[in-house]
Chains A and B, each alone.
Chain A
Amino acid sequence: MTQSSPSRVDPDRAARRNARNVATRTERSEDQTDLLGKRSVELSRYFGGKIETVPKVPVRSLQDFALWYTPGVAAVSRAIQDDPDSSFDLTGRWNMIAIVTDGSRVLGLGDIGPQAALPVMEGKALLFKVLGGVDAIPIPIQVASPEQFIATVEAMAPAFGGINLEDIASPKCFGILEELSKRLSIPVWHDDQLGTAAATVAGLLNALELTHRSVRTVRTVLLGAGAANLVTARLLLALGHPPRQLTLVDQKGILHAEREDLDELELRNPWKYRIALATNGGGRTGDLAAALEGADVLLAASTPKPGTIRPEHVRSMAKDPIVFALANPVPEIWPEVARAAGAAVVATGRSDFPNQVNNSLIFPAVFRGVLDARARSIPDEMVLAAARELARGASRKGLSARHLLPTMEEPEVFPLIAAAVGDTAVRLGIARRKLSHDEFLERARTLMGRPARLVRALARARLTPPMPRRRPPPRGTR
């Protein structure tokens, strides 16, 4: 590995130097976030939000409404009444998803409620459109319980080809996703669980290849037992990771079958309980340090705080350790500190370092794929297919310790992921529309390429006003 070269930095000196830099860097990053935040508020006010609906049919005169609306439309309704699945052909349902949140865990902001979550959901809808060519409607809902959440989404499902759950607190997000997946015949996805886990697994597969390891023999530590890591653990087990060599660590230390809080977990978080019983068969107990000794891989998705992982933690791991410090905006350990301590491959959640593990690499393509296949659900096989295809995207361009995953600037991989997802839907027998691989790919390329042209055309026609300079005058939209 690159780190074993003679010019290797003295890890202690690097750590000390870095400790000094960390404070400055954190401050600088906070200043930057502050500036972006102010600008974002200005622009939101100026544009009056981020998305709008646009007709997709010609409207030559008001006469055309006799076709698009009553009386003509009645026949379209009758056709759907006779054959409900034809709603995917006769309406925009084939490409329309709902982004649903209760606002209970928004970004790092916590439980800010549905209204305050709306700008985030609008942003997500924008990403869905621009990256995936998917029409996404933000729907933050005010609900009092998971049951009410489930009932509400079930009630709105007839309008959509898929549901994207967003920013829902753990552990209730697990029950909501499980139940909705059971009840609905359209795919349901919770990005904070599946998107993040899929991107993590993709990065890990490549990191293992780079360091000549196999998922079937490594010892892995997952720091944090929230939405993403519990699913990452499940996916790793599905890939054949030995359960005895998988260890989860949370604020209370190593998660194991005899931990004091396990009975409480069975009641309050059965997902975590099941993983606790399935993993750490080696019977390790104690803290992060105890878990990491001799481990090959550390996947951290915990609370954002540098110093959560210390250089000595990394040094205690096996040779050429793999370290993913995915907390945002501040990773659990700065990449250069991890590398100086011997990490062979380091990934973070940030775009300003190499190897960003980013769920935007996954969700637009997954939805492109499930919508094009008109899939009925999103089983883990599909999530893994997406992860594998994303991983291949980086190998195709040349895998290295600094190019573990494609970046957002390598969009050619996205239609390939969509096609892999579509193929899997067909193979599993859950596709309403069975296209060939090439057909899925062609369709994804077309539909994913269209929004960029649309955005350019709107800008050229001045229908989207240009970005204003700082401090714009208020615009008469509200």
Chain B
Amino acid sequence: MSGHKEGGGRSNGPGGTPSMPVHLRPARDADLPALIPLLLRLKRLNEEFDPLLKVRDDVEPQARQILKADLANPKAVVLAAEGVGAERDKVVGFVRALVRERPFYAPEHEGVILDIYLLPLYRRRGVGEYLLRETSNALKAKGAGIVTAEFPAQNEIANRFYTKRGFRPIIAVQARSL
């Protein structure tokens, strides 16, 4: 289970316009030190929504391992959001997504957005729209016929963001402690 974080920004033109405070590119191994803290921020935020999303003590090595594996996985999409101008070399956000097979449904492959995170200063101004568009394109290029997003059920901000962009709930995941 993972989540999303993006203030509901309005669309204002394609990515890379002067007003856009970030630039998206495929992540590389060298980005790992910057990506891990961002992934941890997102997971710690998810913990705020539900105690069943309590972050593990070993979350940091876990994050490193998962991100490293995804960077090598041809079915995964990991994009790094860099600042622009003076902040060109600063990673300020990322997207992690995965193409999964749907054995019982058509289309046969879905692209799942597992994590989206942007540092607070880089939100809004249509950045989320830009991230979603670029991610969807990358997933489509890997054969996905639909795009889905996973996030904590209580995350109203993520819920509004996707609903506004034509998403709807198709599978519910409910949980209780054992």
Contact = CB atoms under 8 A, between A and B. Distances in A.
Indicate whether A and B interact. yes
Interface string A238-275: 00000000000000000001101011101110000100
A262 B48 contact: no
A267 B41 CA distance: 14
A116 interface: no
A258 B45 contact: no
A277 interface: yes
Interface residues of A, number: 12
B41 A257 contact: no
Interface string A62-79: 000000000000000000
B48 A257 contact: no
B120 A273 contact: yes
Nearest to A268: B48
B45 A263 contact: yes
B30 interface: no
B125 interface: no
Interface in B30-84: 41-42, 44-45, 48
B121 interface: yes
A249 B88 CA distance: 29
- Majority SS of interface residues in chain B? helix
Contact of B119 (A257, A264, A268, A273): A257
B5 interface: yes
B121 A257 contact: yes
- Output the residue of A267, A273, A277 with the most chain B CB within 10 A: A267
Contacts of B120: 257-258, 262-263, 266, 273, 276-277
Contacts of A257: 119-121
A257 B90 CA distance: 15
B47 to A, nearest CB: 9
Nearest to B42: A263
A257 B87 CA distance: 15
A277 B5 CA distance: 16
B121 A263 contact: no
A264 B41 CA distance: 10
Contact of B48 (A258, A267, A277): A267
Contact of B5 (A263, A268, A276): A263
Interface string A267-294: 1100001001100000000000000000
Contact of B41 (A260, A273, A276, A277): A260
Nearest to A262: B120
A266 B44 CA distance: 13
Contacts of A268: 48
Contact of A258 (B5, B42, B44, B121): B121
Contacts of B119: 257-258
A258 B92 CA distance: 10
Nearest to A264: B48
A277 B120 CA distance: 7
B121 A277 contact: yes
A276 B119 CA distance: 12
Interface of A: 257-258, 260, 262-264, 266-268, 273, 276-277
Interface of B: 5, 41-42, 44-45, 48, 119-121
**Interface pairs A-B: 10 shortest CB-CB:** A263-B45, A257-B121, A262-B120, A257-B120, A264-B48, A277-B120, A258-B119, A267-B48, A277-B121, A263-B41
Given A257-B119, A257-B121, A263-B45, 18 more contacts: A257-B120, A258-B119, A258-B121, A260-B41, A260-B44, A263-B5, A263-B42, A263-B44, A263-B48, A263-B120, A264-B44, A266-B120, A267-B45, A267-B48, A268-B48, A273-B120, A276-B120, A277-B121
